[in-house]
Amino acid sequence: MTTNDELFARAQRVIPGGVNSPVRAFRAVGGTPRFIQRGQGAYIWDAEGQRYIDYIGSWGPMILGHGHPAVVEAVQRALLDGFSFGAPTEREIELAEAIIALVPGCEMVRLVSSGTEAGMSALRLARGATGRTKFIKFEGCYHGHADPLLVKAGSGLATFGFPTSAGVPEDVVKHTLVLPYNDVAALEQAFDTHGSELACVMIEPIAGNMNFVRASPPFMTRLRELCTAHGALLVFDEVMSGFRVALGGAHSVYQQLIPGFKADVFVFGKVIGGGMPLAAFGASKSIMEQLAPLGPVYQAGTLSGNPVATACGLATLKEITKPGFFDALTARTQALVAGLEGAAREAGVPLVGDSQGGMFGFFFADELPQNYGVVMATDKERFNRFFHGMLQRGVYLAPALYEAGFVSAAHTADDVAATVQAALGAFKALRA
Ligand code: HOZ
């Protein structure tokens, strides 16, 4: 048997840090990343044969769990017909139609291969459609690693403590205005000063890259009003929350909370690919028709709308649109969060959690944080010890406190009970 340590040592010789995306490296929590050999349902197994209950789910896409039979079958069938053509296929239309049917206001989509591509392209589209350059993003929101968006972002940038990446020229980010999340006064001031220059405001409406933090309804209401008043587009980055917090994503959640609410541009990823490299951005017809070949905003991709990825995404969407899917997923996720809070209480550890649909977060704090600064001030040391306590007990959480967690339809009540039991032990160990 090859151990995780041996694989990590080998990986570090040929891959920077031994990983192909920094958040996998266990740098924040210390120790050796687990090299995953296979997954089935709610479980993954590492190179040493250790089984874990998986609450990362590939950082969100695996909403059905690993190896769902209907998805596997669809992918196998698609593979036999060919991997990639660089030409249009009927399945791309079907997936675009399926996405549009679930998100009112999103009338056309363009399929791409990653959330980074989708976020970057949505920004270019917003700039092209408005003829403006500046835009607002929020501290702790992560919209992929394109240069103008890599400023005070959450996820890996928060984990490793560098607010903005080296290699991103000042000139490129001078048009990026970064504001605190959920801060109406800062938003109003920014619009007062720059309103007529703003192409868009990009937001994770339910942020999953500074742990789990939701935009408050008053903040979202004011954001919509200001965008409308100043002609800036409101871009909902739903790479994490889309088709995950509800069938219609966070957009449908805010539509229920705020009468008449509608975003202008949408960014999707993760769940719509079911675990394959697939993402999308969309908007009204009039905005999307600015894209080449119809309009002057260029955007392209050799593997965009890949036939195997679209088969995987379509099969996944078909499962999650079945009646009762989100009710069951929501109930299971709520049970997990309530169980974690209960176990922490029993162990005398302050902990507060939140969830929406199949996405959740928890903090070693008394109150839910409303922005990145407060998340950064929560007890990192405690989280890191808890993370390892859970890993030892067979539960795989994201290896950084700046990440949300994900429950899949494959997680059973027994899995939740086992997780809560493990958490009780890990919480008690924190007090030792
Ligand atoms: N950004 C995702 C987690 N917050 C995962 C993608 C990655 O950075 O590897």
**Could you tell me which residues are beta bridge partners of residue 51?**
45
Asked if 237 is an active-site residue, the reply is yes
Q: Kindly report the protein residue whose alpha carbon is nearest to atom 2 of ligand 1.
A: 59
Distance 23 CA to ligand 1 centre (A): 6
Catalytic residue of the set 270, 354, 396, 402: 270
Of 45-59, 248-262, 282-296, 367-381, least confident by mean pLDDT is: 367-381
pLDDT score for 169: 86
Best residue among 15, 19, 21 to mutate for probing ligand 1, ranked by most atoms within 8 Å of CB: 21
Does the pLDDT at position 353 exceed 90? yes
Statement: residue 158 has pLDDT above 90: no
Instruction: Assess whether the C-beta atom of 209 lies below 6 angstroms from ligand 1.
Output: yes
Higher pLDDT, residue 167 or 53: 53
| pLDDT, mean of residues 38-42 | 98
- Work out which ligand 1 atom sits closest to the CA atom of 402: 4
59 lines ligand 1 (CB under 6 A): yes
In tens, the pLDDT along 165-204 reads 888 888 888 999 999 999 999 999 999 999 999 999 999 9
pLDDT exceeds cutoff 90 at 57: yes
Whether ligand 1 lies within 6 angstroms of the CB of 403 is answered as yes
Average pLDDT over residues 203-223: 98
- The per-residue pLDDT for 359 is 98
- Ligand 1 center to residue 102 CA distance, Å? 25
pLDDT above 90 (res 214)? yes
Token pair, residue 236, equals 């909902």
270 is catalytic: yes
Residue 171: CB atoms within 10 Å: 8
Q: Which of 183, 237, 354, 415 is catalytic?
A: 237
Sign of the dihedral defined by the CA atoms of residues 385, 390, 393, 399, in that order: negative
**Rounded average pLDDT over 37-65:** 98
Q: pLDDT digits over 233-274, tens only?
A: 999 999 999 999 999 999 999 999 999 999 999 999 999 999
Whether 142 sits among the annotated catalytic residues: the reply is: yes
Q: How far is the CA of 113 from the centre of ligand 1 (A)?
A: 14
Q: Is the pLDDT of residue 374 over 80?
A: yes
Residue with token string 């995950």: 244
Ligand 1 centroid–CA 277 distance in Å is 13
Does the pLDDT value for residue 153 go beyond 90?
A: no
Give 69-320's CATH code, choosing from 3.20.20.80, 2.60.40.1190, 3.30.930.10, 3.40.640.10.
3.40.640.10
Ligand 1 pocket: which of 24, 155, 401 to mutate (most atoms within 8 A of CB): 155
Residue spans per domain, the chain: 4-67+323-431, 69-320
Task: Report the distance separating Cα 278 and Cα 308, nearest Å.
Answer: 10
Task: Compute, in angstroms, the gap from residue 22 CA to the centroid of ligand 1.
Answer: 8
Q: Which residues pair with 235 in a beta bridge?
A: 202, 265
Q: What is the pLDDT of residue 431?
A: 83
pLDDT over 70 at 72, yes or no: yes
> Is the shortest distance between the CB of 156 and ligand 1 below 6 Å?
yes
- Quote the tokens at residue 1: 């048997």
- The three-class DSSP label of residue 234 is strand
3-class SS of residue 123: helix
> What per-residue confidence (pLDDT) applies to 425?
98
CB of 23 sitting under 6 A from ligand 1: yes
What pLDDT sits at residue 160? Answer: 65
Q: What is the mean pLDDT of residues 70-87?
A: 98
Q: In angstroms, how far is the first alpha carbon of the chain from the final one?
A: 34
What is the C-alpha to C-alpha distance for residues 369 and 86, in angstroms, rounded to an integer? Answer: 45
3-state DSSP call for residue 279? strand
Is the pTM value of this prediction over 0.75? Answer: yes
Tell me which of 43, 52, 55, 142 is the catalytic residue. 142
What pLDDT, on a 0 to 100 scale, did the predictor assign at position 164?
A: 76
Residue 293: strand, helix, or coil: coil
Backbone phi, then psi, for 161, in 5-degree steps?
75, 20
Say how many Å lie between the CA of residue 155 and the centre of ligand 1: 6
Specify the fold of 4-67+323-431.
Aspartate Aminotransferase, domain 1 (3.90.1150)
Contact by Cβ (8 Å): 150, 164: yes
What is the pLDDT, as a whole number, of residue 151? 81
